[in-house]
A and B are shown apart, each in its own frame.
Chain A
Amino acid sequence: MDVCVCGAQAPFVHGGAELHMDNLVRALRDAGHRAELVRLPTAWDKVRVFEAALAWRLVPIDADVVIATNFPSYFVRHPRKVVWLFHQHRIAYDAVDAPWSDFGLDDDSLEAQRLLTEWDTRALREAEALFTTSGVVADRLARFNGLDGEPLYHPPPLFESLHPGGTGDYVFCPTRLEGNKRPALLTEAMAYVHAPTRLVLAGRGTLENELRARIDALAVADRVQLAGFVTDERLVDLYAGALAVVYAPFDEDYGYVTLQAFRAGKPVITTHDAGGVLEWVEDGVTGFVTDPTPEGIGTAIERMAADPALASRMGEKARARVADLSWEPVVARLLGR
């Protein structure tokens, strides 16, 4: 079968969505299909998002099936359109009141928000099957568009390489250093940790300088390490050697970090408002779920550090929780088999 995977391109950005698309194409090929990734540049401001959506509407795609992924790629027209929704244009929906949203509380913004919701509902309703990456995304779809989507869970990148190791003297967090990932919250949490435990933050982003300043101000430089970009091999090692993983994004769509941590046999410390992370982390069983405060996270790190055996037991349960994740059933569901 010839399958085109459709996805938005945010030039110069390579994150979880891009890895997801690449891995989907690879999984389709592994299943014996001809698969191609089709991407169109997009823009995120409230004027040009419509043009990006309309561009997809006008693109002819010859394939047996198209699988659309993130906004606005699901505006593609095709008689066999399957949508596996990563996310919509969130600043018009759940994040409309976020500081970075340009949808204000004025007539023009409200009409743009209305029209975008209407466009989304129509384009998504066209799909012969509508899947989401997680229950969180399905819930948003139900609340904002009145549509039902079926969560379809898939293994994260490096799934085959990740493995358990010892319980080291650090908690680990690989993440982009951006506002919605809240790296500052983790840094501030270290001020509440009295055990000899370090925080290793791997990743880069626009907040890096701000974060360094915060680390200095809190006088936690000896216990917070900004590791920057790390290779896949190093990432696997850092997961394997951690006491636990701490991950506290705001309302994450899915969150590869959680699944990678579980695969590496590590419990995850997260927060009540972390979104998709909470579909996996069960408080007291596969990690700790705390208030989104430095004190709450710091206390959870203290508990892990005080009882590494507990961390190990939680990690075993976490690893078992993701043992069944595989691309094969995902490909079968997407192609209606």
Chain B
Amino acid sequence: MTAARPAVELLVGLRPVTAVEPVLRALSRFATLRARDPGLPPPDARIATSTDARGLREALHDDAVPVAVALHDGEEPPAEVAARAAAFLVARRPEAPGIPLLGAPVVAWPEPSIDAAAHPPLPPLVRRRWRRLLGLPDQFVVVLGFDPATPLGDRAVASALATCEAAAVRGRWTLVALALGTPLVTDASTARRLGLRDDCEVAVSAPASAAAAARALALDERRSARLGAAARHVVEQVHDVVPSARAVARRLGILAPERPGNVLHARLAELGTPEGAPAAMRAVAACEPFLSLASVADTTR
């Protein structure tokens, strides 16, 4: 069943790679990313993190290996790049005027974005039981980015957001909180920037009363559950970077072809099952002989 992971070579220029980092991180689910190295066998695909990337020109003339090229801030690609790239990678920002029409397909990823599968949601009942297991107080509310903030080191933030009853968050942790299904209070500008509606996905509050609003939200079991589930849903629909990475992989021809046996994996994925979850492993183990047969049949056609 296991096939060799495809290799994707990164071509880097002067522009910062950080702008492309979210989609590259997510792409590592499907392929091994590596630096340019003439000593290695040819890769299955290449990604140039900017139009000034070293080696891009010769890569575009290597017809055996497709190249995707990242564009920055409404940049128009040079004619040669426009003519020969297999795909363009563009960040989709809410304030951006739109994505330019180009010769090659454009794969956009949301900005800001998050790997939703890497931040599984925790519903209120499970949060409550984790608090009990960890000996945390049941009335546990996290405040980040508002005054007074909960004193937390970076490494503790995700755990705190995953176990708290509700949180008031603005700033860089907001998307993590939403992905974790945290019943969330935020300010109006954060809500607007992330496309969140008051009392639909979050509770919007003035900064001065955000902590109090989070404490009130924690006491409302039904509203907490509704907002947490809706927050997670909007992250998957709008801010998840993995579908974009999958689209990049598909454009570059490195995504494993659909096989009959893959339906099991697809059904597990659509239910939000983490890779390696015991439920997934047992299901795959039960079907493995048949999945292998399907795989063999597919390769011998």
Q: Residues of A at under 8 Å CB distance from B?
A: 47, 50-51, 54, 57-58, 77, 93, 96, 105-106, 108, 110-115, 117-119, 121-123, 125, 139, 142-148
Contact status B278-A117, CB under 8 Å = no
Q: Decide if A58 touches B264 in the complex (CB within 8 Å).
A: yes
Interface residues on B, range: 35 or more
B273 touches A146 (CB 8 A): no
- The 9 lowest CB-CB distance pairs between A and B, nearest first, are A146-B229, A50-B279, A146-B225, A146-B226, A57-B267, A142-B222, A114-B126, A117-B123, A119-B271
Taken residue by residue from 6 to 42, chain B's Cβ proximity to chain A (1 for < 8 Å, 0 otherwise) reads as 0000000000000000000000000000000000000
- A93 close to B125 (CB less than 8 A): yes
Q: State whether A105 and B282 are in contact (beta carbons under 8 Å apart), knowing that A114-B126, A115-B273 are contacts in the complex.
A: no
Q: Which residues of B contact A114 (CB under 8 A)?
A: 120-123, 126
Q: Determine whether the beta carbon of B272 is less than 8 Å from that of A142.
A: no
**Supplied contacts A114-B121, A146-B229, 20 more A-B pairs, CB within 8 Å:** A50-B279, A50-B283, A51-B283, A58-B263, A105-B129, A110-B126, A115-B279, A119-B271, A119-B272, A121-B123, A122-B270, A122-B272, A123-B271, A143-B225, A145-B123, A145-B229, A146-B226, A146-B227, A146-B228, A148-B226
Q: Which residues of B contact A147 (CB under 8 A)?
A: 226, 229
B230 within 8 A of A: yes
Chain A residues with Cβ under 8 A from B130's Cβ? 110
Distance between Cα atoms of A117 and B225 in the complex (Å): 12
Do A142 and B226 touch (CB < 8 A)? yes
Main secondary structure of the interface of A (DSSP, over half): helix
Dominant SS among interface residues on chain B: helix
A113 CB contacts on chain B under 8 angstroms: 125-126, 129
CB distance from B222 to the nearest CB of A (A): 5
Give Cα A112 to B273, complex, Å.
Answer: 11
Complex interface residues of chain B between 237 and 295 (CB less than 8 A to chain A)? 263-264, 267-268, 270-274, 277-279, 282-283, 286
Question: How many angstroms between the C-alpha atoms of A190 and B125 in the bound complex?
Answer: 38
Whether B221 is near chain A, meaning CB under 8 Å from some CB there, is: yes
Min Cβ gap B288→A in Å is 14
Is there contact, CB below 8 Å, between B222 and A118?
no
Interface flag for B156 (CB, 8 Å) = no
Q: Inside 8 A of A106's CB, which chain B residues have their CB?
A: 133
Q: Is B125 a contact partner of A144 (Cβ separation < 8 A)? A: yes
Which residues of B216-233 have CB atoms within 8 Å of chain A's CB atoms? 221-222, 224-230, 233
Contact of B192 with A by CB under 8 A = no
Among A47, A119, A121, A142, contact of B278 (Cβ-Cβ < 8 Å) = A47
